[in-house]
Chain A
Amino acid sequence: MQVSEASEVGPSDAELIDRWRRGEEVAATQLVRRHAGAVARYLSAAGAGEDVDDLVQEAFFRAFRRLESYRGTAGFRTWVMAIGSNALKDLRRKQIRHPVVALEDRDVVDVGNDPHSAVVGLDLEQRLERAVVALPLMQRDVFLLRAQQGMGYEDIAEALETSVGAARVHYHQAVKRLKKALE
């Protein structure tokens, strides 16, 4: 199930990271080209909505700035996604503190505490999307990294700074909730 990032055509992520560290800008561009689409899919499914482009940019920006702390134990793509997830969380907090648009004018789905009742009446994909956004953050991240991105538990655990066992538990809890929401 795990996506092998090393199977990409061309230099590996590790090589590109090394070249970027040595000042080759084109290496950073290649990394963005290689992973931006997947990061956009992930963040969109996580509830980024119209902010997805900005958040993809923010995720890569933060990743390149803190590349020194990247140990390479998790895949680069998974790592950027985890950073993107934090950026999304930060953005939502900021929007709550400083709302720019009145809530009633925004296309925000308030799923409350009952994802099931909130998603009835939509098509299956929309219902899943809304139910995923309603998951607790850790469950949402683990579920998307595993089910949508095809990452292994080890990679997920490393990127989200949790244990493999906890990642498995989060995944199964997410699946249980989502199944219930889609019934």
Chain B
Amino acid sequence: MDERQLEQLAKRLGAEAADGLDVEQTARAVLRRVKQEPVTVRWWRRIPVLQTVAAAAVVVLTVGVLVVGQLASNGSEVAVLPAFTELYTLSNDELEQVYDSLTVDAPVYELSAVNLQDMNEGQLEELLALMEG
């Protein structure tokens, strides 16, 4: 048997089932079910803005987890600091610890060149923002 004969034979399959199908009854049953079981869309999926906010929140949380994980893997005590701690609540020693933990991969900022004691809060925030990219 060649491929063409096989295809011809395949076209005959299921003919009996098609003949026996009550199309009108099927159509009525489908419509009845669609009405009885309407599509349920979760409320937050109806509002595109909320989807965007949810996606942004997921990104922020993921990045936060990764950053904390990275700090923890460096063995720094700073890693245990809450991610959202305001810089101005930190003591100079704590700020130096943060700075040390971040300067591992950022040799541009050398302690010998910049004295943290001389920097104000705004400068420290700017510096950290730069380091964090």
- A residues near B (Cβ < 8 Å) are 25, 28-29, 32-33, 36-38, 40-45, 48, 52-53, 56-57, 60-61, 64-66, 68, 124-125, 128-129, 132, 143-144, 146-148, 150, 175, 178-179, 182-183
A142 to chain B, nearest CB (A): 12
Residues of chain B in range 52-100 having any CB-CB distance to chain A below 8 Å: none
A132 touches B26 (CB 8 A): no
A42 to B10, CA, bound (A): 10
Enumerate 24 A-B pairs (CB-CB under 8 Å) in ascending A order.
A25-B31, A28-B30, A29-B31, A33-B27, A36-B26, A40-B14, A41-B14, A42-B14, A43-B17, A44-B14, A45-B14, A53-B21, A53-B22, A53-B26, A56-B21, A57-B33, A60-B27, A61-B30, A132-B13, A147-B11, A148-B10, A175-B3, A182-B1, A183-B1
Does B29 touch A at the CB level, under 8 Å?
yes
Given A44-B17, A65-B39, is A57 in contact with B10 using a C-beta cutoff of 8 Å?
no
Does B15 touch A at the CB level, under 8 Å?
yes
On chain B, the residues within 8 Å of A52 by CB distance are 14, 17, 21
Q: Which of B1, B28, B33, B34 has the most CB of A within 10 A?
A: B34
* Majority secondary structure of chain B interface residues (helix, strand, loop or mixed): helix
On chain B, the residues within 8 Å of A36 by CB distance are 21, 23, 26-27
A41 to B12, CA, bound (A): 9
Which residue of B has the minimal Cβ distance to A176? B3
- B residues near A (Cβ < 8 Å) are 1, 3, 6-7, 9-18, 20-24, 26-31, 33-34, 37, 39
A40 touches B30 (CB 8 A): no
A42 to B15, CA, bound (A): 9
A13 to B110, CA, bound (A): 69
